[in-house]
Structure 1
Amino acid sequence: MNTTKPYGYLWLGIVLLGLAPMLGCDKSVATHPVSGKVVLANGSPANGGIVKFRTTSEEGEMVKASGKIQSDGSFQLSTFEDGDGALEGDHEVILFSPASGDGNVSVAPNFASKYRNYETSGLKFAIAPGENDIVIQLEAR
């Protein structure tokens, strides 16, 4: 009777489980640095909130990059790692305020509500290889 075969399957299972977290998370896709500023129609910076870019990858998957809007209106996008930027290509853009732990909005946005939805924001930007510096000009509330 050969008892080593069941242990061989157990070992194979352990190895496959160890490799599972690496599958489906392709960080080899090239990102390009994206920074910029969110500016109101009157020229003052948007204070707080989140900017989110979305595009479709070559594989047909929706890929999003986001960044926190600082008090001076500046932001830096991250897709897979902090500050890595966004994928090359055309992106739709939204802006919103994050919710606090109790579900309430933690920062009162100083931009129109239309910017919270990809279909109504009207914001589109192309990301190119290399450094990308973007100014997002908004309408005042």
Structure 2
Amino acid sequence: MVALSFISLVGCEASVATHPVSGKVVLADGSPVGGGIIKFRTKSDEGETVKAHGQIQPDGSFQLTTFQDGDGALEGEHEAILFSPATGDGHNAVAAPNFPTKYRKYETSGLKFQVGPGENDFVIQLGTR
């Protein structure tokens, strides 16, 4: 039964087309915002929410993954959020940006993007810190 579920899931992923999505998170003055995570979400043709995510690199760049590393996101309109991951215990803490609360929720972030065939490269410009 578990094997059948896994095969079904893999088959579904293979039939859903993703498109490369990359970009950069910057402040109003153009300086990069490094660290943290970006997530995109959209609805599939079946009405299910599908999310893509990416690690924001020190230079502010990111590349999204939905099913396989770097495969991008589904075609369509996406909402996006930015957040800082848990930083670990006190001995291994990693500095991450503290994004304003509005960017942590899909309903308030105001970040919307249209993903289509071909390369999708977005610059996400935040207000000043």
Equivalenced residues, count:
126
Q: Which residue of 1 aligns with 2:28?
A: 41
- Once the two structures are superposed, what CA deviation does each residue of 1:11-56 show, in whole Å capped at 9, x if it has no partner? xxxxx44323122442120000001100111210001100100000
Q: Which residues of structure 2 form unaligned runs of 5+?
A: none
Flag the 1:99–1:68 CA change in 2: closer, same or farther, 3 A: same
SS of aligned partner of 2:29: coil
Aligned residue identity for 1:35: S
Aligned residue identity for 1:59: E
How far apart, in 1, do the equivalents of 2:89 and 2:98 lie? 21
Check conservation: 2:84, 2:98, Cα contact below 8 A: no
How far apart, in 2, do the equivalents of 1:64 and 1:43 lie? 27
Aligned residue identity for 1:119: E
Aligned residue identity for 1:60: G
Structure with the greater alpha carbon radius of gyration = 1
Superposed counterparts of 1:1-141, under 5 Å: 16-25=1-10, 26-27=12-13, 28-102=15-89, 106-109=94-97, 111-141=99-129
TM-score, normalised to structure 1's length?
0.81
How far apart, in 1, do the equivalents of 2:36 and 2:72 lie? 18
TM-score, normalised to structure 2's length?
0.88
How far apart, in 2, do the equivalents of 1:71 and 1:79 lie? 22
Q: Which residues of structure 1 form unaligned runs of 5+?
A: 1-15
Overall identity of the aligned pairs, in % = 70
Check conservation: 2:87, 2:96, Cα contact below 8 A: no
How far apart, in 2, do the equivalents of 1:43 and 1:119 lie? 25
Over the aligned positions, Cα root-mean-square deviation in angstroms equals 2.0
SS of aligned partner of 1:140: coil
More strand by share: 2
The Cα shift of 1:113 comes to: 2.2
